[in-house]
Amino acid sequence: MKHIEGYLRVSLFLSEMGKLSGVFSLRHFLVLSLALNVALISRVVYEGENWREEQIRALMADASEKSAHVSMSSPPPPSPSTPSSMAVTSTEIKDDGERVINLDHGDPTMYERFWQQMGDITTIVISGWQSMSYFSDVKNLCWFLEPEFAKQIIRLHKIVGNAVTDNYYIVVGTGSTQLFQAALYALSPPNASEPMSVVSAAPFYSSYPSVTDFLKSGLYKWAGDANNFNKDGPYIELVTSPNNPDGSIRQPVVNRSGENLVHDFAYYWPQYTPISSPADHDLMLFTVSKATGHAGMRLGWALVKDKEVAKKMTSFIELNTIGVSKDSQQRAAKILQVISDSYEPVGNPKQSGPFFHFSHSMMEERWKALRSAVKQSGLFSLPEFPSSFCNFLGQAFGSQPAFAWLKCEGGIEDCGNFLKRHKILTRNGKHFGASPEYVRVSMLDRDESFNLFTKRLSSLHLSQSKDHEKESP
Amino acid sequence: MKHIEGYLRVSLFLSEMGKLSGVFSLRHFLVLSLALNVALISRVVYEGENWREEQIRALMADASEKSAHVSMSSPPPPSPSTPSSMAVTSTEIKDDGERVINLDHGDPTMYERFWQQMGDITTIVISGWQSMSYFSDVKNLCWFLEPEFAKQIIRLHKIVGNAVTDNYYIVVGTGSTQLFQAALYALSPPNASEPMSVVSAAPFYSSYPSVTDFLKSGLYKWAGDANNFNKDGPYIELVTSPNNPDGSIRQPVVNRSGENLVHDFAYYWPQYTPISSPADHDLMLFTVSKATGHAGMRLGWALVKDKEVAKKMTSFIELNTIGVSKDSQQRAAKILQVISDSYEPVGNPKQSGPFFHFSHSMMEERWKALRSAVKQSGLFSLPEFPSSFCNFLGQAFGSQPAFAWLKCEGGIEDCGNFLKRHKILTRNGKHFGASPEYVRVSMLDRDESFNLFTKRLSSLHLSQSKDHEKESP
């Protein structure tokens, strides 16, 4: 039964996709449909009646898991024999209110389902004697950048149209967090009398202050909300767009002489926001974690206009980690290649599904479910996003960010604490330079977590908030 | 012909190995011999007469390669269709003196040959949907440490006997360079009035000063040669043993109150030095790069006695790179497992060759060749190492370090410059807090480079040194 339901949902998804087809032809859907049919049939054949049982067992295991680090608990990754289910609607889920739902981190496990369904097409094989040297390409300024990964980065940006790559240097990093530090190092003069100020408009990504300041560097120093910044002299402004945590589209706010901009484009991909034009700023950061969901690879890349800045960033990574895992670069090259192949299928019989269409549709569904839960509860509010045209998907839509910037209404002063009492872990607004009435909620967790979250959220009403107020001193 | 020569060399190697067999039985050699036979036969079958041609082509390509970064040039990694040859003796090589031999970095490409010969036994396969989450084990203090990698680290230390692991925390890092910084961060008090002094006895690893100081941290600061350190208060002493660059066995030299020791055990493996006892210091660093030769993985681990120090090191890596590549950890787990399996073969039909016996023998051969070249030339000298008993190999030998600490004699003041004129790139002694009469030379490059190096070195005589002196102002 479940398999047939799943199949119907996929067919429905495909027919919906057909309507919004811009760069995407019916032939793509036919091939995808066939691929998914094969995947579903083999699931029936190989797993038969055990499938539902396995799903329940996975949920049970999840529920009973007691994490040593409460702030870091997450469901165990699926094993090949227990793939995630197709989307389960929240009405099908029983919630006894006891299971801890951890949406504090932006762990992108939502994407596992897509890659599972793609089967072996993204599998890589690495022999024991491969990738032993420190060096990837001694002729490249960034000598530890794997040439195939560089090629696939450029190809994907050209297909998606979210960034210009011509005349840019690519610097690879152990996630965009390392590249962010490399950028601070590269943009700060080595012999200044005091550290360079680093600012970002609130609400800003909660890690910026701690990552900037944890080593008490004499080169750079966190200087807080860009909206309140009024110091003379050179500074670095971090422009995250769409923004983490609130999903807003951002421009620099300080706009003074001595400006050094770092554009964090972790979320400038079509599943999260309309791609309006190819970005062409001086220093742009991207990360595999949020683009394809492969956070465990710890990979990011920077597109850098100025050669000296690219050299200094490379130098940072050389001093910090002597390069970046080749294994992950090779794996990422394969993942990006498969995504690009699915949009450039000419003469390629091995194409996979259309990744951005699938993930865009998932995010759309999740945001609908969240807004519906918020409405049903009456205790919360969410930002609204204006619709704009996406050149890549060929349609207009409003942003559907990787995080929900949820506000507690009804006089709840600490939204994070309130949700924690209901065993929903989120990140408190105060970590983002904002009010504790806000929390950031990951929208990228596995289906089971997300569905349980919307179900529980929809059941929270004013009476519970009042009970809570009475109980708290 | 070449194939038969190769086969004979392997057989000779095996029979030599038989003599020094301590923990190692004849049965191991038989299985290894069979495995190598299969490897050699398939090489003949699949590559036939093209093999010699390919080898020459690779050398030619190498020679003509013009590196953009002179200091980073290295031979291109072999492709599956052009495996490295079996050892080529220096007498077989023609040296026109024009090819640049870059032994500046300790790039451990020497090990490729071993892993190529092991065939598919260390191959790993990673599916597109695996290792997507940031988290590896939420119950572990180091939540981004892959459990299988942790298990294989402990197993290997127990087999080799080079470090105690009971009651230690394991922290994984993007190479031991990142772990070194994590250690400085963890051992420095967060609110001290001035940065903690970091010292190491000269000659010390050339990266220590720059890695300590590049961010101008307010937490810690390079304070130079430990032998000259006389400041009061807490300090961090780096004890590298065997030492990089000179291979000496080291103990702390400051020995004052407020001592914080970091033991860098990158080279405490039986191919480089006798394993006298399991090390049990407070904070010990290891790296895959020099243990197995997989520098491209960018992986290291720390064994840490104190829980709070391990927590702070984990926190450093969380802030710096949000964890460590899972792909590389999985690959490293496989490599370590295969090595351990080769020493614990009971009931394991898939065992590979005896890695440490092979690499020990290679290093022994290389040091013999280097000492012979130095003798023939008359222009250089090398440190001598006392023989001591290795519990792992069951025999006594003198250290055969990963680097040669070469001194120019005969009045040559700048050894690095002298060798550079003869197109041999090394690292100047002054980078190690020592005299420029010394250079550090990597002993871990591919056979072709190493053999060319010893050939060229043996041909340098006093007359050339005099010519050089005349030419230079």
> What are chain B's domains?
2-119+354-471 (3.90.1150.10), 147-343 (3.40.640.10)
Q: pLDDT value at position A462?
A: 76
A321 at interface of B, judged by CB pairs closer than 8 A: yes
Distance from the A123 Cα atom to the nearest Cα atom in chain B, whole angstroms: 4
Confidence (pLDDT) at A91: 54
Lookup: tokens for A291: 């683009």
Task: Please compute the mean of the pLDDT values over residues B109-127 and round it to a whole number.
Answer: 95
pLDDT at A473: 40
- Quick check: A129 and B115 CB within 8 A? yes
Q: Is the pLDDT of residue A350 over 90?
A: no
CA angle, A382 as apex, A380 and A386 as ends, to 5°?
Answer: 155
Mean pLDDT of A273-285: 98
Name the pLDDT band for A78 (thresholds 50, 70, 90): very low
pLDDT tens, position by position, A411-426: 999 999 999 999 999 9
pLDDT band of residue B466 (cuts 50, 70, 90) is: low
Q: Residue B45: enclosing H or E segment and its boundaries?
A: helix B26-47
> pLDDT at residue B85 above 90?
no
Residue A383 DSSP one-character state: -
Nearest to A391 by CA among A165, A164, A160, A154: A160
- Whether the predicted pLDDT of A57 surpasses 60: no
How many separate helices (H) and strands (E) can be counted in chain A? 14, 16
Structural contact between residues A243 and A264, judged by C-beta atoms closer than 8 angstroms = no
CA dist B349 and B363 (Å) reads 28
Amino acid code (one letter) for A15: S
pLDDT score of A346 more than 90: no
Q: Cβ of A15: how many Cβ atoms within 10 Å?
A: 11
Q: Which residues pair with A261 in a beta bridge?
A: A237
Q: Which of A26-35, A251-260, A303-312, B153-162 has the lowest mean pLDDT?
A: A26-35
The pairing of strands A283-287 and A259-264 is: parallel
pLDDT at B93: 75
B130 pLDDT more than 80:
yes
pLDDT one-digit tens code per residue, B100-115: 999 999 999 999 999 9
Beta bridge partners of A402: none
Is residue A396's pLDDT more than 80?
A: yes
Give CA–CA dist B177/B247, Å, rounded. Answer: 19
Backbone phi, psi, residue A274, to 5° = -60, 135
Closest C-alpha to B418, from B67, B245, B426:
B426
Model confidence pLDDT, tens digit, residues B236-264: 999 999 999 999 999 999 999 999 999 99
Q: Which helix (H) or strand (E) holds A376?
A: helix A355-377
In this structure, are residues A8 and A381 in contact, taking their beta carbons and an 8 Å threshold?
A: no
Q: Is the pLDDT of residue A79 over 80?
A: no
- Look at residue B388 in the predicted model and tell me its pLDDT: 98
Cα A225 off chain centre by:
23
pLDDT at B389 over 90: yes
Q: Which residue has the higher pLDDT, A193 or B60?
A: A193
Judged by DSSP in three states, B243 sits in: coil
What is the rounded average pLDDT of the residues A141-146? 98
pLDDT band at B353 (very low <50, low <70, confident <90, very high): low
How far apart are the CA of B227 and the nearest CA of chain A, in angstroms? Answer: 25
A114, A138, A180, A185, best to mutate vs chain B, most B CBs in 10 Å: A138
CA distance B190 to A372: 46
Mean pLDDT on A150-178 = 98
Most B CBs within 10 Å, among A84, A114, A134, A196, to test the B interface: A134
Q: Which residue has the higher pLDDT, B277 or B92?
A: B277
Verify whether the Cβ–Cβ distance A141 to B68 is below 8 Å. yes
pLDDT above 70 as % of chain A:
77
DSSP state for residue A445 in the 8-state scheme:
S
d(CA B131, CA A292): 12
- Token pair 């009475």 is found at A470
Write the pLDDT tens digit of every residue in B260-309: 999 999 999 999 999 999 999 999 999 999 999 999 999 999 999 999 99
- CA B239, CA B183: separation in Å to the nearest integer? 13
Asked if residues B6 and B86 have their Cβ atoms less than 8 Å apart, the reply is yes
Q: Per the structure block, which two tokens stand in for A176?
A: 């965009």
B320:A181 CB<8 A: yes
Share of chain B above pLDDT 70, in %: 77
| pLDDT the model gives residue A16 | 38
Q: Do B289 and A134 touch (CB under 8 A)?
A: yes
Q: Return mean pLDDT, chain B.
A: 83
For A389, the 3-state DSSP assignment is: strand
On the question of a cis peptide bond just before residue B189, with omega within 30 degrees of 0, the verdict is no
pLDDT of residue A94: 84
Specify the DSSP class assigned to residue A429.
G
Q: Does B50 touch chain A (CB under 8 A)?
A: no
Residue pair B128/A118 in contact by the 8 Å Cβ criterion: yes
Structure tokens at B186: 């963890």
User: In residues, how long is chain B?
Assistant: 473
What is the number of other CB atoms lying within 10 angstroms of the CB of residue A292? 27
Average pLDDT for B142-166? 98
Per-residue pLDDT averaged across A148-153, rounded?
98
pLDDT, mean over chain A = 83
Considering only residues A45 and A336, tell me which one the structure prediction assigns the higher pLDDT.
A336
| Residues with Cβ within 8 Å of residue A283, at least 6 apart in sequence | A183, A187, A261, A262, A263, A302, A303, A304, A305, A306, A309
Q: Please determine, for the modelled complex, whether the ipTM score is greater than 0.90.
A: no
| pLDDT tens by residue, B197-240 | 999 999 999 999 999 999 999 999 999 999 999 999 999 999 99
Which of A124, A322, A352 should one mutate to test binding to chain B, selecting the residue with the greatest count of B CBs within 10 A?
A322
